[in-house]
Amino acid sequence: MSSKPRTENRFRGVIMPTGSHPAIRRVKRSGVYPSIHGNKLWKSSCLLMDYLNRNRPQHSRSVIDVGCGWGVTGIWCAKTLGAEVTSMDADANVFPFLEATAELNKVETNHMVSRFEKLTTKQLSQYDMLVAADICFWDELVNPVYNMVNRAVKAGVKHILIADPERPTFYEMAERCADKHCADIVGWQTRSPIKASGAIMVIENA
């Protein structure tokens, strides 16, 4: 007898639905499909949630979750830190999935459709913290992500954290940030209830 597919995971207090969760299936049946890799939850979000859970940020009143996908990192910030969160992604089709995930967690976030290079210094100045997971997966993303970090530092964003499963493109971007902004590149892993490993680039700009 085959077991039923798991419909959700729970990680650091956040409900993370799988593709077979009824709420996600309803979104899919409506004909909405993300086009830029926002088709599932990515494990690097777990690295960020675990790191922030152990290293609570001093400033977290307003948070932007960049390249948010289903938005679980921002949802964790809203649920656990009480932050006002802006979830940003270039693909508008991720937001019905994000809304379903946020509703399961009984929180809301603000939505912004934008690309990294369109996010201005003025916009970034509204936020205390920038978080992002799995956003530097192509060679052509290295410069846009690096330049966005530069603008965030200039804007006075106090905490900047970007997690990745250690792709070469991520390290190229992060090492440039280390040279310019003294960013730390921290190896991180989680074992339970979700196993994940990678690295987090951390800039403390307070």
C-alpha to C-alpha distance for 90 and 71, rounded to whole angstroms: 13
C-alpha to C-alpha distance for 184 and 24, rounded to whole angstroms: 36
Tell whether pTM > 0.85.
yes
pLDDT of residue 38: 45
Q: Does residue 95 contact residue 32 with C-beta atoms inside 8 Å?
A: no
Token pair in block for residue 176: 């440039």
The domain made up of 8-32+40-204 has a fold known as: Rossmann fold (3.40.50)
pLDDT of residue 6: 79
Q: For every one of its 206 residues, what pLDDT tens digit does the chain have, with 9 covering 90 and above?
A: 445 667 888 999 999 888 888 888 888 888 777 665 545 577 899 999 999 999 999 999 999 999 999 999 999 999 999 999 999 999 999 999 999 999 999 999 999 999 999 999 999 999 999 999 999 999 999 999 999 999 999 999 999 999 999 999 999 999 999 999 999 999 999 988 889 999 999 999 97
pLDDT of residue 128: 98
Residue 51 is inside which H or E element, if any?
Answer: helix 44-54
CA-angle at 66, arms to 199 and 80, nearest 5°? 80
Q: Does residue 100 contact residue 17 with C-beta atoms inside 8 Å?
A: yes
Contacts 24+ apart (CB under 8 A), 23-26: 23/100, 23/101, 23/103, 23/104, 24/97, 24/100, 26/100
C-alpha to C-alpha distance for 92 and 114, rounded to whole angstroms: 9
Burial class (CB in 10 A: 0-12, 13-18, 19+), 54: exposed
pLDDT of residue 36: 56
Per residue in 180-189, is it b (16+ CB within 10 Å) or e — as a string?
ebebebeebe
C-alpha to C-alpha distance for 162 and 141, rounded to whole angstroms: 13
Domain residue spans of the chain: 8-32+40-204
